[in-house]
Chains A and B, each alone.
Chain A
Amino acid sequence: NAGVTQTPKFQVLKTGQSMTLQCAQDMNHNSMYWYRQDPGMGLRLIYYSASEGTTDKGEVPNGYNVSRLNKREFSLRLESAAPSQTSVYFCASSEHRDYGYTFGSGTRLTVV
């Protein structure tokens, strides 16, 4: 019963470096999401994937790219990290609009 697994849990990057945040779910959910959470601002949607093979922008997509590799995996890439991308990143998945989301444990990213 792993649910939604995110790696890594913590990461420190230097400005300009790139990295990929990994997310995998074992619940056979169609929809997957990437959110960032900053103090006082709640969760903001970066990108989402309604089904395998599709991705779409959310509220704050600038500076990020995503790949829905297969039904299980949805990765988030920072091509050139900036201090403004310091945040906690959550991946989530959902079976149906009536059932809400299941979240991963999060990745705490610091860009210096």
Chain B
Amino acid sequence: QKEVEQNSGPLSVPEGAIASLNCTYSDRVSQSFFWYRQYSGKSPELIMSIYSNGDKEDGRFTAQLNKASQYVSLLIRDSQPSDSATYLCAVDLSGGYNKLIFGAGTRLAVHP
């Protein structure tokens, strides 16, 4: 079993819809969780971080964390074609030593 798992996609949503991206992880002691966006041929860029159970909102993005279920998700409201990218889930599985393990990413395609 991989330590951080994501559905590879592609996840295709119409413009204006909500895109829901999911991630599961293997270690119950994980404390820090991140979502990165990566456009084709570019480097990953941080879009959200979450540390506590529940929801965290930032503009059109909402991260959701459920530590009991070892599950973290990212919701993108009012999806735009410019949101089309690969979204990487990253988890600190090193017990707080700031060493991130990345999922393989979910490719999101937002069509007009």
Contacts and interface: CB of A to CB of B under 8 A. Distances in A.
Contacts, number: 56
Q: Which range contains the number of A residues in contact with the other chain?
A: 20 to 34
A74 interface: no
Interface stretch (B13-21, B39-47, B54-62): B39-47
Interface in A7-48: 31, 33, 35, 40-45, 48
Nearest to B8: A40
Given A50-B98, A90-B43, A97-B32, A40 B92 contact: no
Q: Which range contains the number of B residues in contact with the other chain?
A: 20 to 34
B10 interface: no
B98 A43 contact: no
B108 to A, nearest CB: 15
A33 B104 CA distance: 18
Contacts of A106: 42-43
14 contacts: A35-B102, A42-B103, A44-B102, A48-B99, A50-B97, A50-B98, A58-B99, A90-B43, A97-B32, A99-B49, A102-B46, A105-B42, A105-B43, A106-B43
